[in-house]
A and B are shown apart, each in its own frame.
Chain A
C-alpha cells in the first residue's frame, strides 16, 4: 500500500508534496496503524453507498466478532457461549438506563465494568478446563444466563418482553445518539478505538506470548510464564469487547430482550470468525459484512442461511484457509504485487 501511494504521489508535479507524503508514509506510526485509518475512512465513506442501518449493524457485530476472534485466535479457546457476555453488557447498560440514569456514555462504561467483573469471576473457574469442555461449559452457561434473564430475574428485566428505554437516552454532548446518522459517527469512532487497541495488543509482547501459548503451552511454562494468567487476560479482554458490543446494541435500539443471548447465535458467531479469518485484525469486519449481507440477500428464503453457514464452516476448516483474509492474501501474492499483506 505504501508503494501504491508512492506511485500516485510521484505523478504529482509538485516535488514538495511528494517529499512530505514520503515523510508521512515512512513514519513508523503510519506503518503500524495506517491500514486501520484507511479502513475506517472506507467504512465512513461507505455511508454514501449502503444503508446506514446496515453499516451500524455491521460495526456492532464486528466488535462482537472481534471478541470471539481474539479469544480463538490469540487465546486458542473456542467458546460456544459468547452471546452470554454480549447479554451481560447489554443488560447492564439497559438496567442502568432503565432504572438509574440517562447518560449513554455512563451506560456503556457500566456495561464494560459489568463485563469485566463477570469475566473475572467466570474465567477464574473455567479457564483451566480442556478445550472441548470449555466450549460446552460456555454453552451451558449461556443457556443458564438466558434462563435467568427471562425467568428468574423477570421482575427486573421484564422477562421475554424485554426492556424499552429509547426515550430515556439523553443526548451525548448535545447530540442525540439514537438517530441513525449520529449513532453511525459514534460507532465509527468506537470502532477506530477498538481496532487501534486490538492492533496494539496483537503487536505487543503480550500478543506474541499469547500466540506462543496457543502453540505450545509446556515450553512457555518452562520459560517461566504463567499460562493461567495469560489466558485469563485474553478472556477478560474478549469479554470486554463482547460487553461493549452489547452496550452498543442496547443504545442503538434502546431495547434489550433475552433473545440477544440465544444459544443459536453462538454457532453463527464462530462461523463468522472463521469466515473472516481467525487471528486476523480485519477478519471480523469482513466476516460480519459477508454474514449480514448474506442474511439480507437470502431474506426471502431466510430458512436457508443455516445451510450456507454450515457448509461454509465445513469447507473453510477443511481447506485450512485463514478465511476471507487468507483468500485475499493468496490473491495478492499471486499477482506478486509488492504490497504489504492485509493483516
Chain B
C-alpha cells in the first residue's frame, strides 16, 4: 500500500459514498414509511444515468439533462406508485420485493432495447483537478461531494422543519396515529416515493461520468444500495449518510490494499452487522406494523 495513494483513495471513497447515499436514501425512506422494499430504485438510478447521458449528448448541457431526468423520473415514479404499489401495501413484504425486482428487470430490458448493450463512457461536466493537501483531486468528484452535502441539508430541512416532512417522520414511527390526526397517509406515500425516485435518479446521473454506463449497472448497485440502507438503519437519514460514507471508504481503501476486497468486504460487513445489530447503526426498534 502506497501512502501517496491514500489521499486520493479517501476522496474517491467519499465521493462513491455520496453516490451510494443518494441511491440508498430512497430505499430507506420508502421502507421506513411504507414498509415496502423498493428494489426498483435501482431502475430509476439506471434511467437517471441514461437519460442524462442522452440529453447531454443531444443538447450539450448537463444541467438540462439533470432537469429532464428529474421530471421524467418523477412522472414515472408517480405512475409506478399508482399502478403497482397501491395494490400491494397491505400484502406481506415479499410481494413488494418480487414486484419491484420484476420492474427492475423490465426496465433493464427496456434500456437494453433503447440504448443497446455496449458500455457507454460519459463525459464529466466539470473537468480539471485541483490540488488539495498536496494531491490532485478531480473537480467533478469535489462537486459530487458538495452537491450531496447540499441535498442532505435540503432533505434534513424538509424532514425537520416542514409539516409534510414532520408528518413523514411521524409516519415512519407510527402510521396509524398520523392518520388519526387527519393527515392523508396516501398522499404522504406518494410524496415520499416520488422524492425517493428523484434522488435515486440523481445518484445515477452523477454516477454516470464515473463509470462505464451499461444496462447491468442497475443490478450491480442493488446489493450495495441494500447494504448501505440496512447498515445505516432503514428509515434514518443520518444513518444512511454515515453508512454510505463507511461503505464507500471501505471499498476504496480496500481496493488499494487487496483488489478483490471491494467485492468481499461490503458483504462481510453486511453479514456481521446483521448478526450483531439487525436494526443497523442508527435504526430504531424493529418495525412491526
Residues of A within 8 A of B (CB): 72, 76, 78, 80, 125, 129-133, 135-137, 139-141, 143-144, 147, 151-152, 263-264, 267, 270-271, 274, 303-314, 317-318
Say yes or no: A140 contacts B112, CB within 8 Å: no
The size bracket of the interface on B is 35 or more
Residues of B65-117 whose CB lies within 8 A of A: 84, 87-88, 92-95, 97-99, 101-110, 112-113, 117
A-B contact pairs, 26 of them (CB 8 A): A78-B94, A131-B93, A131-B94, A132-B97, A139-B222, A140-B267, A144-B263, A147-B263, A152-B260, A264-B216, A267-B105, A303-B109, A303-B112, A304-B112, A307-B106, A310-B103, A310-B104, A310-B107, A313-B103, A314-B84, A314-B102, A314-B103, A314-B106, A317-B98, A317-B102, A318-B99
- Select from chain A the residue with minimum beta-carbon distance to B104: A310
- Select from chain A the residue with minimum beta-carbon distance to B102: A313
Say yes or no: A130 contacts B278, CB within 8 Å: yes
Cα–Cα, bound, A141→B267 (Å): 8
Residues of A within 8 A of B222 (CB): 139
Say yes or no: A310 contacts B97, CB within 8 Å: no
- 1/0 per residue, CB under 8 A from A, across B210-239: the answer is 000000100100110011001000000000
Residues of A within 8 A of B94 (CB): 72, 76, 78, 131-132, 135
Say yes or no: B98 contacts A270, CB within 8 Å: yes
Among A129, A270, A309, A313, the most chain B Cβ lie within 10 Å of the Cβ of A313
Residues of A within 8 A of B223 (CB): 136, 139-140, 143
- Select from chain B the residue with minimum beta-carbon distance to A78: B94
Q: A78-B94, A80-B101, A144-B264 are in contact. List 11 more A-B contacts (CB 8 A).
A: A130-B286, A132-B97, A137-B271, A139-B222, A143-B263, A144-B267, A270-B98, A270-B101, A310-B109, A312-B102, A313-B99
Residues of B within 8 A of A (CB): 37, 84, 87-88, 92-95, 97-99, 101-110, 112-113, 117, 216, 219, 222-223, 226-227, 230, 260, 263-264, 267, 270-271, 274-275, 278, 286
- Chain A nearest CB: distance from B96 CB in Å? 9
Given that A143-B267, A307-B106 are known contacts, is A133 also in contact with B274, CB under 8 Å in the complex? yes
Say yes or no: B264 contacts A147, CB within 8 Å: yes
- Chain A nearest CB: distance from B10 CB in Å? 25
Say yes or no: B109 contacts A267, CB within 8 Å: no
Cα–Cα, bound, A309→B108 (Å): 11
Residues of B within 8 A of A309 (CB): 102, 105, 109
